[in-house]
């Protein structure tokens, strides 16, 4: 059952994906439609998942859901969501960011995705620092999203370990 992200409770589970390249408007719309088609029929152990999806900043894919009365989406429901996102991306010839990639906001406001080693080198070069806005794709609930734990300064996230001033501690 598709709903709006803003109407989901804070404990609703959140999954965040990033695309390696920015999405063209038509690709973002097609991806959003594919995810809405999925969430319209998403179930977990035969129970409807109240869910929402959103494509943000031409790079980020947010998918969230919960099962009223059970609250958590089960393993099979999670697997179905992963397959839905991967299938939609594959159908649009999009490559999703990998676990070791860093998603950050550049000075011009655009979002970029880099391998962790490249981000560390940029930190050593002074191109990025603790004030650089990063996206913590490990945010796990809609509450995390609302509380600003998805997008925040690198110094306030696990990304601080990649910065020279903290990587030698």
Q: What is the C-alpha separation between 169 and 65, in angstroms, rounded?
A: 38
* Average per-residue pLDDT for the chain: 93
Q: How does pLDDT run across 17-28, given as a tens digit for each residue?
A: 999 999 999 999
Q: What is the C-alpha separation between 86 and 81, in angstroms, rounded?
A: 9
Question: How many Å from the N-terminal Cα to the C-terminal Cα in the chain?
Answer: 47
Q: Is the pLDDT of residue 120 over 80?
A: yes
49: its two tokens: 């998942």
**Residue for token digits 């059952």?**
1
Nearest C-alpha neighbor of 104 from the set 83, 94, 118, 90 = 118
Q: How does pLDDT run across 29-70, given as a tens digit for each residue?
A: 999 999 999 999 999 989 999 999 999 999 999 999 999 988
């Amino acid at each position: 059952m598709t709903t709006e992200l803003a109407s989901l409770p804070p404990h609703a589970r959140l999954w965040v994906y990033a695309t390696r390249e920015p999405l063209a408007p038509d690709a973002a719309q097609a991806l959003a439609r594919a995810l809405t088609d999925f969430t319209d029929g998403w179930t977990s152990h035969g129970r409807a998942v109240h869910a929402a999806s959103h494509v943000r900043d031409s790079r980020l894919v947010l998918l969230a859901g919960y099962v009223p009365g059970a609250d958590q989406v089960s393993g099979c429901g999670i697997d179905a969501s992963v397959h839905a996102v991967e299938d939609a991306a594959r159908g649009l010839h999009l490559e999703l960011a990998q676990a070791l990639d860093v998603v950050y906001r550049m000075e011009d406001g655009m979002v970029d995705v880099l391998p962790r080693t490249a981000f560390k080198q940029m930190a050593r070069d002074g191109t990025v620092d603790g004030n650089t806005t990063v996206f913590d794709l490990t945010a796990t609930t809609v509450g995390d999203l609302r509380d600003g734990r998805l997008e925040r300064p690198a110094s306030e996230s696990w990304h601080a370990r990649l910065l020279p001033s903290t990587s030698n501690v």
